[in-house]
Amino acid sequence: MKIKSLLSSLVLILLIFSCSSDGKKSDGLLPPASGSPGEMIVVMDSAQWKNVLGREVRETFQAEVQGLPREERMFKINQVNPARMSNLLRQVRNLVFVVTLDDNSPGSRRIRNYFTKESLDKIRQDDDLFVYTSENEFAKGQQVMYLFGKTESQLIRHIRDNRTALQNFFNNAEFSRLQSNIFKGKKPTGLTEVLEKEHDCTMKLPFGYQLVVNEDNGSSGFVWFRQMNDDNDKNIYITYRPYRSEKMFDKDNLISLRDSIAKNQLFGDPDKPETSYVLTETAVPFIPVQVQQLTFKDMYAKKMKGLWKTRNNSMGGPFVSYGMVDEELNRFYYIEGFVYSPGENQREYMREFDVILHSFNTLTASASDEEEASAGE
């Protein structure tokens, strides 16, 4: 369920603190949103924050990110009592207001001042209304969400029933911000041309990635890009082979494919290939390899994420990958991003890989998209 679909019946007129008497400030007059990726401020009464409603908000936006070597939360949350809100805090990139009409605490009364009488009447009359979102409300590049209910128990139920959609709203916002940032700079020279001319596909790569391996065996191929920094080693590779059957998408077969690629191509220490090749970590029961079916650029696909390690256990980290079929080429593509960054948090690396991998497309699928776009003009 998408957040926007939840808003179709909701027309709220909000009284915004930062608005002048002439109305909301234009984007050109707003300051840039503050805060780091994955940061969020939740504005709600402190007593409600400490009770069941607050726990539901925390379980939603502080859910554990799966597939990482250590515990990391989806968002870093700072709860702020409405009485302590300042202009500076209102400019954070991800901002959530939470209020229920049955709570008469000073904090809840302050948040209700954001709503007109007509808006509050709509909330009282329609039990299905519980969320409103807006962008660039107090700052450029900002996403704001209002969660509300006639009663606390009603709002708790709505949050539980729509947890994934609420998470996706802010995850998609972080994806879009990252997409704008990592592709706006200088691009590596010649890498896209290599993919297009030799491997019938394309992908945007941020500055700093270099071509490590480029193999074209006709019906199959392997391309490895790498960015080595002081505190991390980021890797992206693309491989493909003839598509044989839907069984190639089975979890065990995806892992076997990944391990066969890694054993022959990816080494922690190229001077010791027999002991330092890369394997999928399948022996950690509380961090299993996860596989999800989805559509990728109109192609049937499976997303896989989990942990990798070298055979000698000297290195390891998380990975995210997509396997898909280009039916016109009868070709199975497997693309992956993995990182080695010992002792560091990994969540934002995985966000970055997802953005880069989502720029991948096969030339036949890309041409088909262009034809459809031209036909619709």
Q: Average pLDDT per run of 10 along the chain, which is 377 residues long?
A: 44 37 61 95 97 98 95 96 94 97 95 90 92 93 96 97 96 95 79 92 92 91 94 96 96 96 83 84 93 94 96 92 94 97 94 96 71 48
Determine the pLDDT at residue 22. 39
Tokens encoding 41:
């401020």
Q: Say how many domains are in the chain.
A: 2
Bridge partners, residue 239, by sequence: 222, 334
Q: How far apart are the first and last CA of the chain?
A: 29
DSSP 63: P
Residue with the two structure tokens 């297009």: 196
Q: Which of 133, 161, 182 is the last residue of a domain?
A: 182
Determine the pLDDT at residue 24. 55
User: Which residue range forms the structural domain that includes residue 233?
Assistant: 191-375
User: 168 and 308 share a domain?
Assistant: no
Determine the pLDDT at residue 25. 57
Residue with the two structure tokens 């502080």: 62
User: 158 and 306 share a domain?
Assistant: no
| Residue 347 contacts residue 38 (beta carbons within 8 Å) | yes
Determine the pLDDT at residue 370. 52
User: 42 and 74 share a domain?
Assistant: yes
Determine the pLDDT at residue 190. 86
User: 50 and 169 share a domain?
Assistant: yes
Determine the pLDDT at residue 369. 56
User: 58 and 131 share a domain?
Assistant: yes
User: 21 and 106 share a domain?
Assistant: yes
- The CATH number that applies at residue 312 is 3.40.1000.10
Q: Which of 131, 155, 182 is the last residue of a domain?
A: 182
What is the separation of C-alpha 65 from the centre of its chain, rounded to a whole number of angstroms? 10
Determine the pLDDT at residue 220. 93
User: 79 and 126 share a domain?
Assistant: yes
User: 164 and 251 share a domain?
Assistant: no
CA 273, 277, 281: angle at the middle one, nearest 5?
165
| Residue 339 contacts residue 349 (beta carbons within 8 Å) | yes
